[in-house]
Amino acid sequence: MGVLENGREIAVKRLAKTSTQGLHEFKNEVILISKLQHRNLVKLLGCCIERVEKMLIYEYLPNKGLDSFIFGKWNNVKRKHRKVSNQQRHKQKFELLTDKTQSTLLGWRTRYQIIIGIARGLLYLHQDSRLRIIHRDLKVNNILLDADMNPKISNFGTARSFGGNQIEAHTNRVVGTRGYMAPEYAEDGTFSIKSDIHSFGVLILEIVCGEKNRRFAWGLQNEGNSLQLVDKCLGELIDVHQVLRSIHVGLLCAQNHPEDRPTMTSVMMMLESKGPLPSPKEPGFYVGKFTDGFYEGLNGEKSINELSITILSDTQNES
């Protein structure tokens, strides 16, 4: 976090001095997001490039990341191992425990408005902006919240733009996050607006459930027990129609084949209407293994959701 001369608070995303591919992502983010303006996209205020220093200056969003509200915060708890031998010293291991205190602050009405806000931002990227943008890493960690809990899609370092009549592209280096990736992207490197829609479907289910990708959502939907998916933190203070419709739309978005997924225009209509919905097939949550060198996830990246100053990690060039 930083403060401008006029007193305005800002968030600073800083590129590691030793980064190589990070420079490509840096330039990509500047070029793309400088051409975009929407209330549900994080706002870029400026950038700084001086010798080895490269920084992106964003609006400061006091509520930071949606992930901390949905999944809770991660706490490090020290625990000693037993002594194995005289030559081996005692070691410490950090056990990850979750604190979901913040999730109780996120009622259903707010969660639903967050879902709608993300959908509007994605609709803008896919259809209403000057460019057709494929985000390629849409996930709960990349959704920031302003003071009024309005969602902002962030982190455009791996985004790609389509021009003219282009509807899909292929890469030999897949970037993104396992669990959110569409099957055709994770397996073959093929991506399109439908890849983002798959990720959005997973995101909807996580916002409703309050947990990571719930792969048994489809089974409960078929059994008529979708309400069992609802985050227990919400209690009975929910709009049942909105909850059931959100789960249904989430499953439709997360379909295995791109042609079975709706467009964002259809998604908005389905979320905000009360008409009948098509029955979803089994969703395409990708759980397969990645071959060495094909998947290049951003595991080393510290999210701007967590820190005001972020170090971008090295990843491989696409080809």
Active site residues: 137
Q: Which two tokens stand for residue 216?
A: 């048994």
| Main-chain dihedrals φ then ψ at residue 267, nearest 5 degrees | -60, -45
* Cα gap 82→85, rounded to integer Å: 9
**How many whole angstroms from its chain centre is CA 272?**
22
Q: How many CB atoms lie within 10 A of CB 92?
A: 8
Q: Which two tokens stand for residue 84?
A: 């194995």
Q: Closest by alpha carbon to 125, among 202, 68, 41? A: 41
Q: Which two tokens stand for residue 42?
A: 């994080």
* Cα gap 124→133, rounded to integer Å: 9
**Torsion on CA atoms 132, 147, 181, 121, rounded to nearest 10:** -20
* Cα gap 21→4, rounded to integer Å: 29
